[in-house]
Structure 1
Amino acid sequence: MKSVLASRPLLWLVLALPGGWMLYRWAASPDFYGYGHVIGDSGRWAAWLLMLTLAITPIRLLFRKRGWTGWLMRRRRDFGVASFAYAAGHTMIYLANKNDLAPVLEDAGLAEYWTGWLALALFVPLAATSNDMAMRALKRSWKRLHRLVYPAAILTFVHWALAAFDPMTAYLHIGALAAIECIRVWLQRR
C-alpha cells in the first residue's frame, strides 16, 4: 500500500483532478462555469504548481532531516511538468475561445498577452527536457537550461497581474514568490 501511495501514477492522477474537474464543469454547465472561469482557474493552477515547484528547494534546505523533503525533491520535475500542462491547457482554452489567428495576433502586442506567450515559450524547453534521458544527455547544461524557470516564473506572474480582472490576488502571489526566492537565496548562501 505504501508503494502505491508513493507511486508516480497516483501523483499524476491527483495532479490531473483539478483539470478534469474544470473541464467537466465547463462542459456540464457552460452558462454557470464559462470561459472566464476555466481560463482563470487553469492559469491559477499553472501558477500554483509553479510556486510549489520553486518552493521545494527552500523547503528541502529548511527541513533537511525530514524524509518527506526527499520525496518532494524526487517529484519536483513532476510538479513542474504539471504546471506546464496547466499552462498549455490555459493557452489552448484561450486559442479555442479566439477561434481565429487574427484576434490572437491582435492581442499579442498587449503586455498582458505577450508576457504569457513568452513565459510559455520559456517553459516548452523545460518541459521537453524534464526527463532522465535529457538530464543524462545535457549533463551540466541541463541545470543551466532549467534556470530559465526563474524568468519564466516572473513573466507568468506579470501576465497574471496584467490580465486579471482583480490583480490583488496576483500581487499577493508575486509577494509569496518573491519571499520563496529570497529564502532560497539566503539558505543557499548560508
Structure 2
Amino acid sequence: MTAGRWLLWLVLALPGAWMLGPWGFTPDAYGYGHAIADSGDWAAWLLMATLAVTPVRLLFKRARWTAWLARRRRDLGVASFAYAAGHTAVYLWKKGSLAQVVAELSDTYLVAGWLALALFLPLAITSNDASMRALKRKWKTLHRLVYPAAILTFLHWIWSAFDPTTAWIHAGVLAAIETARIVLQRRGKPRRG
C-alpha cells in the first residue's frame, strides 16, 4: 500500500476515532443516539462520495486528480461499508439480544437497512484487485448492486429519521449525482449512424 493510500485511510478513519473517543470517555453526553446517527451519516456521505466519482471523472476528463480519485473509489466504498457495519454494530449492541433484533424486523426502515447491508457485503468483500482479476466482467455486473443498495440506504435513513428533512435533502443530492452520471455517460457514448 502506498503512502498516499495510507494517508487516505487515516483521513477516512478520523470520523470513526472522533465517534469512539467521546462515546468511550463521555458516554452519558455522547451516547447511543449520537453514535448511531453519526455512523449512519458517515456511511451515507461516503457512499455519495463513492457514487460521485464517475460523474466528476466524466465532467473533468483532463484533470489529473480525477484519475487519482477513480483509483481510490473502491477505498471510499469500503470505508462507507465500514461505517455502515459500525452503525449496525452499535444497533446490535443496544438491542443486546437476537430475539429483540428479530422482533423488530417488521419495521420497514430496519428491513431496508438490513437489505442494504446484505447488498453491500459482497461489494466490500470483492473491492480488491484479486477479486477484479478473478471475476473479470462479472465484477462490474456485481458492483452495479451499489445502486439498489444506495436506494435502500436512503430509504432506511428517511424512514428512520425523527425529522426526515435532512435525509430527503441528501436523497436529492444522490439523485442529482446519479442523473449527472447517466447524462454524462450517454453524452460520452459514440452515436450510431
Same fold, TM-score > 0.5, yes or no? yes
> Which range is displaced more, 107-116 or 46-55?
107-116
Offset, 1:96: 0.4
Offset, 1:107: 1.2
Unmatched runs of 5 consecutive residues or more in structure 1 = none
Give CA deviations for 1:135-163 in whole Å, capped at 9, x if unaligned.
00000000000000000000000000011
d(CA) in 2 for partners of 1:135, 1:109: 37
Give CA deviations for 1:61-89 in whole Å, capped at 9, x if unaligned.
00011111011000000000000000000
Whether 1:133 and 2:130 are equivalent positions in the alignment is: yes
- Alignment map for 1:40-119 (pairs within 5 Å): 40-119=37-116
Three-state SS of the structure 2 residue aligned to 1:65 is coil
2:178 paired residue number: 181
d(CA) in 2 for partners of 1:39, 1:64: 38
Letter aligned with residue 85 of structure 1: A
d(CA) in 2 for partners of 1:30, 1:52: 30
* Misfit runs of 4+, over 6 Å: none
Whether 1:154 and 2:164 are equivalent positions in the alignment is: no
Using the size of structure 2 for normalisation, the TM-score is 0.95
Offset, 1:103: 1.2
- Percent identity, please: 67
Using the size of structure 1 for normalisation, the TM-score is 0.96
Letter aligned with residue 101 of structure 1: L
Choose which of 120, 142, 146 in structure 2 pairs with 1:145: 142
1:30 paired residue number: 27
Offset, 1:108: 1.2
Unmatched runs of 5 consecutive residues or more in structure 2 = 188-193
Letter aligned with residue 75 of structure 1: R
d(CA) in 2 for partners of 1:130, 1:151: 17
d(CA) in 2 for partners of 1:22, 1:166: 22
